[in-house]
Homo-oligomer: A and B are copies of this chain.
Amino acid sequence: MKIYWRCTINKRRKANDKYQRILQAAIKVFAEQGFFQSTIAQIAKEAGVADGTIYLYFKSKDDILVQFFNYKTKQVFDGFRKEVDRADNAVDKLRNLIRRHLAEFQRDRNMAILYQSETHQSTRLVEKQIKEMSNMYLDIVAEIMEQGQQEGLIRRNLYLSLVKRFILGAVDEVINTWIHSGGQYDLVSMADPLVDLFIEGVGAGGD
């Protein structure tokens, strides 16, 4: 029994290992070459498995991308809310959100690359997932803004659905720039200046 149990666990762990290895390998290859220019053979080689093995864990090449956004990226976005909840006022919440956002994307550069690619494609293989995550993010920002308005920290005459995208877009672009710079500087350090820009704007009015 014990042996059997150990064996099962090992198999599961091993199986899980292989699943993770393939997923990580795929993400790496996708990030480096782009999804359509990546081949199953490359992924298999990177993961150290046979081509056919990939089809034991994923339905198709497309499915790898789907799984990635379903589990990995989703998890990251789920973490955002928790981080937001750890702050009290709207401004701190926004700061926490953006810090976490930049931190997570900095931590997994391949994810960052893939996310940026897929988000801006016209025909998305992961339409639904992207939309879901994107909406979750926008909802969080909207909530923060609304809370901020009640707190008197955020002005009231705002076109909220524009503000949401304004913030997401700015953060995205900062990430995008970081990616194309080769990821050499500290992305998280951009958080505070960014939040400052969001809150104060570039105008001289508040000085």
Contact = CB atoms under 8 A, between A and B. Distances in A.
A148 B207 CA distance: 14
A170 B167 CA distance: 7
A182 to B, nearest CB: 12
A122 interface: yes
B121 A34 contact: yes
A163 B198 CA distance: 10
Interface stretch (A14-22, A42-50, A151-159): A151-159
B122 A113 contact: yes
Interface string A162-195: 1101111111111011010000000000100110
A202 interface: yes
A36 interface: yes
A31 interface: yes
A32 interface: yes
A52 B180 CA distance: 36
Given A113-B122, A171-B169, A201 B204 contact: no
Q: Is the interface of A mostly helix, strand, loop or mixed?
A: helix
B206 A34 contact: no
A101 to B, nearest CB: 13
B31 A122 contact: yes
Given A34-B122, A122-B31, A170-B170, A162 B194 contact: yes
Contacts of A198: 201-203
A162 B174 contact: yes
Given A155-B204, A201-B199, A206-B206, A166 B170 contact: yes
Given A162-B193, A169-B172, A200-B203, 7 more contacts: A32-B122, A33-B123, A37-B123, A154-B202, A163-B202, A169-B170, A172-B172
